[in-house]
Amino acid sequence: MTRVKIGSKIISVNYILLFFLLMPCFQPSSISVGYFGVFLARLYDASEFFLYVYAILAMIKRKLKMHRAMKLLIFSELWIFIATMINGAEILDSLHSMLLIICTLYVVYIFGENMKVVSKVLMLHVELCIYINVLTLIVFPDRMYGFKSIAYGLSSEWFLGYNTNFLLWLFPATWIAILYGNVTKNWRRSLALIIGCIINLVIKGSSTALIGVAIILILYFLPFLRKVINPKIMLGFSLAGMLMIVFFTKYLQMFNWLIVGVLGKDLTFSNRVIIWENAINLISKNWLVGYGVIEQGELAGLLGMYSATHSHNFYLQLVLNGGVISLILFVGAQVYLIKCLRKYNKHGIVALMVIAMVAFNIISSTEILNYPQIIILFSVASRISRECQLLGETYFNPLKFR
């Protein structure tokens, strides 16, 4: 491995390269809107272009050899783009989303041959995002900046955007911190980041982010619960999450005593039930192929609410965009990962992947999670699964995984 000396530290070239390649994946909202100036925004744009070139050339060189779960994930994203073209929807937006997610997944996968490099790069990215965001929350308690919109008025945003978006960073930061601890054994740094995530949640966070972070921490750090979280249960959560929405929309009145009486919430879950019902009706008219990526204003009209720019459920949105075809491909990737990893669930790093996928499927019930910083979970899981297939138990010995 080629290394370079920076000051008193010797850093591998792969570390620097991967950090640059993953900059688009971890681009904070404040940078993308140009809050910190044009130069920094253009630097991220340049890294995104380089990511595309590097990933596509790597695919050609390696002849698309990869884990089967990775192929299913990539085909799921590809089909959404095809569905978008078939329906004449937002082709450029769909192309951008597809390229960013597929190229990020593939780069993480190929660099995952050295999991130490991957874990260190991922750790540095999420540390920068979380720590700076906490700082901006403290310095600017009301807002760092904001935008006016018809739907929401003046928004309150910080380094990572508005607070409901923090989930997209806190969720991956939590499992990445534990991954880093497993691989490098530097648990102090891991725990510091976890504490940073908790502070972020306490100051300004969403209930969904709290649930996602709590599930990972509780199930991982309470060993006796790890025995409960086996691959079959993970698959059960995946299916239950999808069926739950259909059930709620049809039989919600049965739970009036719990939702209104005990939880003190309205029966629409902040109008999400209305959105789910409209999304299901929309899907029923084009359930096989899907509609592709739809312009936000048009989608809001179809979902029956001017502020609804998506269906507030990952799997509903997946079927809405890519039909049952994309759903089968995405769920199929998880099923195959479970099949490969279940034999090694006693190892901490494998248990972490299963637990993170459980958390993913739970929080997907109310959120859209089709973002590269979220989906890379499945790329890391695919790499670990691939190494387990090739090396078996010996994969865990050199790195001394817990």
User: What secondary structure does DSSP assign to 162-193, as a single string?
Assistant: EGGGGHHHHHHHHHHHHHHHHHH--HHHHHHH
Tokens of 166: 């923090």
Q: Residue 266: which region, alpha, beta or left (left: phi > 0; alpha: psi -120 to 50)? A: beta
- Of the two residues 9 and 400, the one the predictor is more confident about is 9
Instruction: Give 267's pLDDT tier (boundaries 50, 70, 90).
Output: very low
Residues pairing with 161 in the sheet: 158
First to last CA, the chain: 25
Contacts of 201 by beta carbon, 8 Å cutoff, 6+ apart: 166, 170, 209, 210, 213
The C-alpha R_g of the chain, in whole angstroms, comes to 21
**Residue 100 scores a pLDDT above 90:** yes
Per-residue pLDDT of 367-385, as tens digits, reads 889 999 999 999 999 999 9
Average the pLDDT over 90-99 and give the result.
95
**pLDDT value at 261 more than 60:** no
Residue 32 and residue 165 in contact, taking contact as beta carbons nearer than 8 Å? no
Helix (H) or strand (E) run with residue 148 in it = strand 148-149
Q: Is 60 exposed, middle or buried (0-12, 13-18, 19+ CB in 10 A)?
A: exposed
Asked if pLDDT for residue 99 goes beyond 60, the answer is yes
Query: Tell me, what's the pLDDT at 103?
Result: 97
CA dist 397 and 11 (Å) reads 24
User: Across all residues in the chain, what is the average pLDDT?
Assistant: 85
Confidence of residue 160 (pLDDT cuts 50, 70, 90): very high
Please tell me the distance from the alpha carbon of residue 98 to that of residue 80, in angstroms, as a whole number.
Answer: 8
Residues 6+ apart with CB under 8 A from 88: none
Q: Tell whether the torsion through CA atoms of 318, 295, 23 and 196 is positive or negative.
A: negative
